[in-house]
Amino acid sequence: MEQWPTTPVATHNDIGLRFLLLGMLALAASLFFGVIGAVKFLYPEFIDGLPFYKIRPLHVSLAISWIFLTAIGGIYYYLSNFSGLTLFSNRLARWHFGIFLVTGTVILGAYVFGKFGGREYWEFPPVLALPIFLSWIMFGINYFWTVLKRRTTWPVYYWMWGTGIVFFFMTFTESYLWLLPFFRENMLREIAVQWKSYGSLVGSWNMLVYGTAIFLMEKIAEDKDLAQSKMAFGLYFLGLFNLMFGWAHHTYPVPFAAWIRDFAYIVSMTELFILGKIIWDWRGSLSIYRRYRHYRPYRFLFAADIWIFVNLVLALVISVPALNLFTHGTHVIVAHTMGTTIGINTMILLASVFFVLERRVGQDAENRYAGPVNVGFWLTNGSLPIFLAALLAAGLIKGTWPDDSFHEMMGTIEPLLLVFVVSGVGLMLGLWLVLIPAIGQMTAVVFPRRYDVGIDVPKAKDGAFGDDAGSGPAQ
Amino acid sequence: MMASHKQKILWSFCTAFAVYTAYVWTAGTEMPQSRPPDQQVTAGLALFQELNCIACHQFYGLGGHMGPDLTNVVSAPDKGIDYARSFIENGTSKMPDYGLSEAQVDALVQFLKFVDSTGTYPPKHPEIRWYGTVAYDAGRYAQ
């Protein structure tokens, strides 16, 4: 029977690894609930004990947890091991993890037992938002007290991570303004505030994830300019501008004043600059790909690059109000959400996971599971286009459906929903093939005694994995 | 880019964001009618959240995709209050029968009537302009 590698083991300041492990478990579970939810579109009675109104929040909350836990885990790990700085407080980081774990478990329990009371995406009883607030305060204190010690110029990813933390806290707070009668009693105002907060909230986790992508590329290419250039900061400020002001493309048909919609339209179109840059840099991206294509973290980043292009085109299309008229409230929006979550965020975060793993277990140990991981990588990236195409086609049928006979419309798109389910199973299996070895290896690092098979390898010491440590990509 | 320049840009953005946020919180979202929700509507809203109806249904196209949009379900020509009440009381193959009391069903119906009074979705007479914007039901909403 295959044994997991046992060393190097986690040290007391490796709290980031626990976040990464929990994040991967959250993704594995989210995929499972996602597939059950998808099957319920065709067979509502499937697993009767878990109705769709419970499955959806379980799937969505676990997917959001995957993004946050893995991004946060990476940040803790990279600050502790690559920045040359000492984390302000390991104890605070452990409390952060503990609160996240306990609150997350209670929230999942609430969903399973049908205890709701919140709004879409935060359906749990509002009182459970309090420990989440607290955990982000802890994270913010730890982050800023650590990076403020650095006197030299900050790389752009420090700015992005800091922005992500601050804006998550602010927009999460904003998403609870519905508790105040001033907002709750005016439904239009409440929708505006709700979706303004959600738009910025997505922008905040994009800051955490894209900051991680730039960090990884800086380390892989060993090019500090990547995170210090004017272009890097220009794109950061463009992202921040969209995070702050670009939310209203989610709500074009809601009867707000026209200026809210028109302003969002203008803001959204500034992302054409990013699209132009991707096209402009295409040849250069291919030459970098040829150099690093055998290095697993880079392959995930390259896959994310392609999905950024695809999803950016889709995002720009659905941000034009005249086109949004036919896509709003349809499966096209689901395609956009799934495309960004799986194609972009998940690919970047898996790159982060494998980058960390390679440094903890070594390339040789990691390569023992290269087969299933490679199959999983291609199965995921092969299933995703089919999955998105089915959703786009279903969405366009719904968006152009001549009347409001919902039942007939759903009957018409049923074959597309079947494709959606089958490709969704492909996505789940593909990502599980990637995750299972990674979870096993990370578990062996975090809980070494349980998996100790007596291999005599020197144990890691604090700071043993300093800046630019590790075997790195094949050149 | 100098650190001080970055800080200036950042603070300019933050200031603009604060002003913009204050404005969105207070203006541009006036309702077509000013009737505040009564106790029954508030109870209906609370119940809507406790049953997590938004997992399947939508208002203004925002929400889940398992069930139909409910923005104007109580005023649609071929639907109406009795139609909505029947679904709430009995459920369907995809919607559970929650076994609600008559008072709870009334509260949900009143809440749906309140939602209906806030606007129309999908827009009935959208006018598409050449540069891509849309006048949604021109004349009904604040422009």
Please write the tens of the pLDDT for every residue from A312-363: 999 999 999 999 999 999 999 999 999 999 999 999 999 999 999 998 888 7
| CA–CA distance, A70 with A79 (Å, rounded to integer) | 14
State whether A255 and B51 contact (CB < 8 Å): no
Closest to A330 measured CA to CA, from B72, B126, B62, B124: B62
Best mutation target among A170, A187, A327 (most B Cβ atoms within 10 Å) is A187
Residues A467 and A459: their CA atoms lie apart, in Å, by 18
- Give the C-alpha separation, A109 to A429, whole Å: 25
Q: What is the mean pLDDT of chain B?
A: 90
Between the two ends of chain B, the Cα-to-Cα distance in Å is 41
Cα A300 from Cα A216, distance rounded (Å): 11
Q: What percent of chain B has pLDDT over 70?
A: 91
pLDDT at A8: 52
Give the pTM: 0.92
What pLDDT does residue A463 have? 41
Establish whether this prediction's ipTM goes over 0.90: yes
Question: Mutate which of B5, B25, B29, B93 to disrupt the A interface (most A C-beta within 10 Å)?
Answer: B29
Closest Cα in chain B to A394: B65
Tell me if B142 and A262 make a contact (CB, 8 A cut-off). no
Query: Do residues A232 and B6 make contact, with C-beta atoms less than 8 angstroms apart?
Result: no
Average pLDDT over residues B13-22: 96
In the predicted structure, residue A458 carries a pLDDT above the cut 70: no
**pLDDT surpasses 90 at A10:** no
B94·A329 Cβ contact <8 A: no
CA angle B120, B126, B128 (to 5 degrees): 150
Q: Scanning every residue of chain A, which has its alpha carbon at the shortest distance from the alpha carbon of B143? A: A258
Residues with Cβ < 8 Å from A368, sequence gap 6 or more?
A2
d(CA A330, CA B65): 7
Look at A262 and B133 and tell me if their CB atoms are within 8 Å: yes
Q: Is A449 exposed, middle or buried (0-12, 13-18, 19+ CB in 10 A)?
A: exposed
State whether B141 and A187 contact (CB < 8 Å). no
In this predicted structure, what is the pLDDT of residue A295? Answer: 86
Q: Is A284 left (phi over 0), alpha (psi -120 to 50) or beta?
A: alpha
List the beta strands (DSSP E) in B51-138: 58-59, 62-63, 127-128, 134-135
Could you tell me the sign of the dihedral formed by the alpha carbons of A163, A164, A165, A167, in that order? positive
Exposed/middle/buried for residue B44 (C-beta within 10 Å: 0-12, 13-18, 19+): buried
**Quick one: pLDDT at residue B70?**
97
**Does B5 fall in a domain?**
no
Contacts of A237 in chain B (CB under 8 A): 9-10, 13
- Number of neighbouring beta carbons within 10 Å of residue A325: 17
pLDDT at A464: 39
The shortest C-alpha distance from B103 to chain A (Å) reads: 19
With a CB cutoff of 8 Å and minimum separation 6, the contacts of A173 are A133
For domain A283-449, the CATH superfamily is: Cytochrome c oxidase-like, subunit I domain (1.20.210.10)
What would the pLDDT profile of B44-63 be if each residue is shown by its tens digit?
999 999 999 999 999 999 99
Given B50, B59, B135, which is nearest A116 (Cβ)? B50
Is B122 part of a structural domain of the chain?
Answer: no
- Which of B60, B118, B134 faces A322 most closely, judged by CB atoms? B134
Handedness of CA B100, B105, B107, B109 (dihedral sign): positive
Share of chain A above pLDDT 90, in %: 76
Contacts of B135 in chain A (CB under 8 A): 258
Question: Residues of B57-66 as b/e, b for ≥16 C-beta within 10 angstroms?
Answer: bbbbbbbbbb
pLDDT of residue A454: 40
Q: Kindly state whether residue B43 falls inside one of the protein's structural domains.
A: yes
Which of B67, B132, B142 comes nearest A257 by C-beta?
A: B142
CB spacing of A187 vs B129 below 8 angstroms:
no
**Contact between A329 and B69 using a beta-carbon 8 Å cutoff:** yes
Q: What pLDDT digit, counting tens, does each position of A26-70 carry?
A: 999 999 999 999 999 999 999 988 999 999 999 999 999 999 999
- Give how many domains chain B has, as a whole number: 1
- Residue with structure tokens 């670009």? A246
User: How many CB atoms sit inside 10 A of residue B28's CB?
Assistant: 19
| Mean pLDDT in residue range A372-377 | 96
What 3-state class would DSSP assign to B114? helix
**pLDDT at position A461:** 41
User: Does A11 score more than 70 pLDDT?
Assistant: no
With contact defined as beta carbons under 8 Å apart, do B64 and B56 qualify?
Answer: yes
Residue B141 pLDDT exceeds 90: no
pLDDT of residue A384: 98
How many CB pairs below 8 A link A and B?
Answer: 175
Is there a domain that residue B7 lies in?
no
Please tell me if residue A253 touches chain B, with a CB cutoff of 8 Å: yes
CA distance A343 to chain B (A): 21
The CB-based long-range contact list for A109-115 (8 Å cut-off, 24+ gap) reads: A111/A54, A111/A57, A111/A58, A111/A61, A112/A50, A112/A54, A112/A58, A114/A54, A114/B52
The verdict on a CB contact (< 8 Å) between B122 and A255 is: no
Q: Are A295 and A351 in contact (CB under 8 A)?
A: no
Put simply, the answer to whether B121 touches A253 (Cβ < 8 Å) is yes
List the domain range (segments joined by +) for residue B60: 39-116
Question: In this structure, is residue B76 part of a structural domain?
Answer: yes
Residues of chain B neighbouring A154 (CB-CB closer than 8 A):
3
A residues 32-91 lying closer than 8 A (beta carbon) to B: 40-41, 44-45, 51-54, 56-57
Would you state the pLDDT for residue A128? 97
Is B111 within a domain? yes
Alpha helical stretches, state H, A228-369: 230-245, 258-269, 272-280, 282-292, 296-318, 321-327, 331-338, 347-367
Q: Is A119 on the interface with B (CB under 8 A)?
A: yes
Q: Determine the average pLDDT of the residues in A360-377.
A: 88
Token representation of residue A90: 């390991």
Residue B90 in any domain: the answer is yes
What is the overall mean pLDDT for chain A? Answer: 90
The CATH number of the domain holding residue B67 is 1.10.760.10
* pLDDT interval class at B121 (50, 70, 90): very high
In 3D, which of A316, A314, A321 has the Cα closest to residue A263?
A321
Confidence category of residue B34, pLDDT binned at 50, 70, 90: low
Write down the pLDDT at residue A14. 85
Helix A282-292 with A296-318: angle, nearest 10 deg = 150
The 10 Å Cβ neighbour count of residue A462 is 12
Chain B residues with CB-CB distance to A260 below 8 A: 24, 28-29
Classify residue B121: in a domain, yes or no.
no
B48–chain A nearest CA distance, Å = 8
Out of B76, B120, B132, whose CB is closest to A265? B132
| Rounded distance between C-alpha atoms, residue A369 and residue A16, angstroms | 23
Per the CB < 8 A criterion, the answer to whether A119 and A61 are in contact is: no
The string of pLDDT tens digits covering residues A115-140 is 999 999 999 999 999 999 999 999 99
In angstroms, the separation between the Cα of residue A185 and the nearest Cα of chain B is 6
**Residues B30, B9: Cα–Cα separation, whole Å:** 33
Residue A23, pLDDT above cutoff 60: yes
Q: Are B49 and A187 an interchain contact pair (Cβ–Cβ within 8 Å)?
A: no
pLDDT above 70: percentage of residues in chain A: 92
A116 contact B CB<8A: yes
For residues B139 and A345, which has the higher predicted lDDT (pLDDT)?
Answer: A345
